[in-house]
Amino acid sequence: MDKIKARFAPSPTGWLHVGGARTALFNYLLAKKTGGTLVLRLEDTDRARHDESAVEKIADDLKWLGIEWDEGVGVGGDAGPYRQSERLDIYTERIETLLAEGKAYCTFETADELDAMRAAQGEHGGFKYPRPDPLPTAEQAEAARVEGKPVVVRFIVPGEAVTIVDDVFGEITVAADEQDDFIIRKADGYPTYHLANVVDDAMMGINFIMRGQEFLGQTWRHAVLREAFGYPTPRYAHLPLIMDMQGRKLSKRDGDVEVHAFRKAGFMPEALVNFIAMLGWNPGTEEERFTLAELVEAFSTDRINKSNAKFDRDKLSAFSTDWIANASDDRR
């Protein structure tokens, strides 16, 4: 397999969740397995949810798990800066280019006006922003800005079906009528996740994107943006959802879900890594106990499961006991 340049791109909003740790781990395994590179990038463009202390927390928990990155935050590299909030001029240039090429336009509805548009469209199938005809001019947008209206930039979707190829979920096609002109710059001047994510993946040379299944439905947006910029198409693997034993999406309501909490409770990092590796992946053998180095050897994306992973706390306890026993055996 060619060398993979992968990335873990958390939004610093709090502690590292086991779901995030799994994404980081799988990207690490894939990069190491191919003699490639893992990048740590901070997606901190959501200023309302930003928590600066989370940056250190995430980095520290990753290191505790043994997940080291080769490029990015705290390490540096040729494609920096690796914090999106320090790359705003890059996004501005990209957005201005789309505007100049007639591939994007400004709109400025207030929240109330958008609510009214939503109500007029009815409840069926979610809201689709109706493209105005004619499109607002740059002068109208400027006048709206002066008036204090929220001016956003929307991307003009090309109006064709988009097909994504995912290593885990296969081919996914989004029909033209399911797409709408999504926002690429928010009223606060920050790019949206979609815009920044696509620009950065291309500029940082990422050739394989692995992330949670919750992003699968957004991937068509990334494909149309890439197309508009002439960026290459990366490989994708979306990782199955992690559910609790009741089949609900894993959340804090059923106990600890943050790496930090398991760390505080005395779990060995080796046990947690071993357990997390099995959340949506299987080695294809009966063997269950793996060190990080053994996981690098054993890992491949074709054994990532499509079906939801189960966060089985009893299994984690068993792993933990097993690892503690092994550690004391080794010491004898």
Q: Does 213 bind ligand GLU (CB under 6 A)?
A: no
165, 173, 235, 282 from 170: Cα distances, Å? 6, 10, 11, 18
Q: Does 211 bind ligand GLU (CB under 6 A)?
A: yes
Asked whether 5 and 15 are in contact (CB, 8 A), the reply is no
Judged by CB, which is closer to ligand GLU: 39, or 151? 39
Q: Does 10 bind ligand GLU (CB under 6 A)?
A: yes
24, 159, 316 from 256: Cα distances, Å? 19, 44, 12
Judged by CB, which is closer to ligand GLU: 197, or 207? 197
Has 252 been annotated as catalytic?
yes
For the chain, report the end-to-end CA distance as a whole number of angstroms.
Answer: 40
Q: Which of 11, 107, 274, 301 touches ligand GLU by CB under 6 A?
A: 11
Closest CA to 99 of 138, 133, 139, 129: 138
Interaction mask 34-63, ligand GLU, x per CB under 6 A: ---------x--------------------
Asked whether 323 and 270 are in contact (CB, 8 A), the reply is yes
Q: Does 195 bind ligand GLU (CB under 6 A)?
A: no
Judged by CB, which is closer to ligand GLU: 10, or 191? 10
Bridge partners, 154 (sequence order): 105, 183
Q: Which range, of 7-15, 75-83, 105-113, 311-319, touches ligand GLU by CB under 6 A?
A: 7-15
Per the residue annotation, which of 63, 252, 264, 315 is the catalytic one? 252
Q: How far apart are CA 58 and CA 20, in angstroms?
A: 9
Judged by CB, which is closer to ligand GLU: 69, or 319? 69
Residue ranges that bind ligand GLU, judged by CB under 6 A: 9-11, 43, 197, 211, 215
